[in-house]
């Protein structure tokens, strides 16, 4: 592979330790949790992953960690499970389609009233915008922690405080910040959604959500079915995690999360954050030395994750990405990045941007090589 600069889409490789553990598991028996005695191992793997993820995201009870196929399924589950007919829902104007589409669908079907909170062109949000938007029927706030297009961090702590004071439930999308930025659920929010295959360093097909205590009780299950528990009844069990985990789980994906999140915890999220910040600073400083690229987003590594979108006036974003790949083997992502809302906010719709995103394998030498390539374009 050339230079991989698309970590916001997915981490391109498992760490050696995680890969080793998965290989060992694949050489043994694969039984499902809760269905037979031997399946206890799968349940133990899930508990190990719940403990690591609960620690990472500040949930005191590991049973409030619920596994799904990814952040998209988890957002659908949290939104559908928490809204009630007639609710007004607030969401930001930089949400990913994983949140925006289920919300728009509920609005179109007349279930909810939906208000998009306008972010500034660089993706930042003034908490005053939220305060002014809250009305008598507002019941839910959906917010991404960071824009997957602009990298901009949103003030989730302050916004969730405002929302909770007004009796509004909160959902945060941690797809871009999980494993990169510290987050503490129990102090801040009702439901925190994570993707397993990005900053958490696990396999694709495993993700989930971490629920606050009262949200776990209030939320209705979105997918219903067999759990191997309470089988005499046609109703879903009320206890966790079974209430939200029917069907056979992705044990391999969950094991990848257990191993990778334990590894992240031993490295320390602050250490990872510091490295992200330093790589992003180097990239932004280099871009500023060039005449043509226009940085979308804050251009401030303190206020963003390691995601930088740019445009070059007069050049098509797809064409730029193709030339970077053909000429230098640089892998980026161009276009609208599943977030037309963020591009409308940034003024880059419908043309889109070229997005560079960095992660654990990124080196300073790679950042310099990318900058040289952009200068030569």
Measured distance CA(347)–CA(355) in Å, rounded: 15
Smallest gap from Cβ 146 to ligand PLP, in A, equals: 7
Q: Does 175 bind ligand PLP (CB under 6 A)?
A: yes
Q: Does 173 bind ligand PLP (CB under 6 A)?
A: yes
Smallest gap from Cβ 148 to ligand PLP, in A, equals: 3
Measured distance CA(293)–CA(254) in Å, rounded: 41
Residue (87 or 95) nearer to ligand PLP, CB: 95
Residues 189-228: x where in contact with ligand PLP by CB under 6 A, - otherwise, as a string = ------x-----------x---------------------
Burial grade of 216 (CB within 10 A; 0-12, 13-18, 19 or more): buried
Smallest gap from Cβ 156 to ligand PLP, in A, equals: 13
Residue (237 or 355) nearer to ligand PLP, CB: 355
Burial grade of 27 (CB within 10 A; 0-12, 13-18, 19 or more): exposed
Smallest gap from Cβ 268 to ligand PLP, in A, equals: 23
Residue (31 or 204) nearer to ligand PLP, CB: 204
Smallest gap from Cβ 343 to ligand PLP, in A, equals: 13
Size of the site for ligand PLP (CB under 6 A): 12
Q: What angle do CA 148, 202, 102 make, to 5 degrees?
A: 45
Pick from 39, 54, 70, 199: which binds ligand PLP (CB under 6 A)? 70
| Stretch touching ligand PLP by CB under 6 A, among 26-34, 65-73, 117-125, 292-300 | 65-73
Q: Does 71 bind ligand PLP (CB under 6 A)?
A: yes
Residue (173 or 262) nearer to ligand PLP, CB: 173
Smallest gap from Cβ 226 to ligand PLP, in A, equals: 24
Smallest gap from Cβ 176 to ligand PLP, in A, equals: 5
Smallest gap from Cβ 340 to ligand PLP, in A, equals: 13
Q: Does 179 bind ligand PLP (CB under 6 A)?
A: no
The alpha carbons of the chain give a radius of gyration, in whole angstroms, of 21
| Stretch touching ligand PLP by CB under 6 A, among 31-39, 45-53, 66-74, 319-327 | 66-74
Residue (134 or 336) nearer to ligand PLP, CB: 336
Residues 18-57: x where in contact with ligand PLP by CB under 6 A, - otherwise, as a string = ----------------------------------------
Residue (92 or 188) nearer to ligand PLP, CB: 92
Q: Does 242 bind ligand PLP (CB under 6 A)?
A: no
Exposure string of 313-345, with b = 16+ CB inside 10 Å and e = fewer, is eeeebeebbebbeeebebbbbbbbbbbebbbbb
Within 13 Å, how many C-alpha atoms sit on residue 43's CB side? Answer: 14
Interface residue list for ligand PLP (CB under 6 A) = 70-72, 96, 98, 144, 148, 173, 175-176, 195, 207
């Amino acid at each position: 592979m050339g230079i991989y600069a698309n970590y916001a889409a997915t981490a391109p490789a498992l760490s050696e330790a995680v890969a080793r553990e998965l290989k060992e598991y694949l050489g043994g028996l694969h039984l499902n949790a809760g269905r037979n005695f031997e399946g206890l191992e799968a349940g133990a793997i899930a508990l190990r992953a719940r403990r690591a993820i609960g620690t990472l995201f500040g949930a005191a009870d590991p049973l409030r960690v619920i596994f799904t196929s990814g952040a998209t399924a988890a957002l659908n589950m949290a939104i559908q499970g928490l809204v009630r007919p007639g609710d007004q829902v607030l969401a930001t104007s930089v949400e990913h389609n994983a949140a925006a589409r289920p919300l728009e669908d509920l609005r179109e079907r007349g279930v909810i009233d939906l208000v998009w909170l306008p972010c500034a062109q660089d993706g930042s949000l003034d908490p005053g915008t939220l305060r002014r938007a809250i009305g008598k029927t507002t019941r839910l706030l959906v917010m991404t922690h960071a824009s997957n297009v602009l990298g901009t961090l949103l003030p989730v702590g302050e916004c969730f405080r405002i929302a909770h004071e007004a009796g509004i439930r909160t959902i945060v999308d941690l797809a871009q910040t999980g494993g990169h930025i510290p987050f503490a659920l129990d102090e801040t929010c009702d439901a925190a959604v994570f993707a397993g295959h990005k900053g958490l360093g696990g396999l694709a097909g495993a993700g989930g959500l971490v629920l606050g205590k009262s949200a776990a009780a209030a939320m209705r299950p979105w997918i219903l079915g067999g759990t191997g528990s309470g089988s005499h009844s046609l109703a879903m069990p009320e206890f966790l995690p079974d209430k939200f985990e029917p069907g056979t789980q992705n044990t391999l994906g969950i094991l990848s999360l257990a191993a990778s999140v334990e590894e992240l915890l031993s490295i320390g999220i602050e250490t990872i954050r510091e490295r992200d910040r330093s790589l992003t600073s180097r990239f932004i400083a280099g871009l500023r030395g060039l005449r043509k690229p226009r940085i979308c987003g804050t251009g401030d590594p303190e206020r963003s994750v390691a995601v930088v979108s740019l445009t070059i006036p007069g050049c098509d974003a797809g064409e730029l990405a193709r030339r970077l790949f053909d000429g230098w083997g640089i892998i980026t992502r161009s276009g609208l990045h599943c977030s037309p809302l963020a591009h409308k906010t940034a003024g880059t719709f419908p043309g889109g941007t070229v997005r560079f995103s960095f992660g654990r394998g990124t080196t300073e030498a790679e950042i310099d090589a990318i900058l040289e390539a952009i200068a030569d374009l």
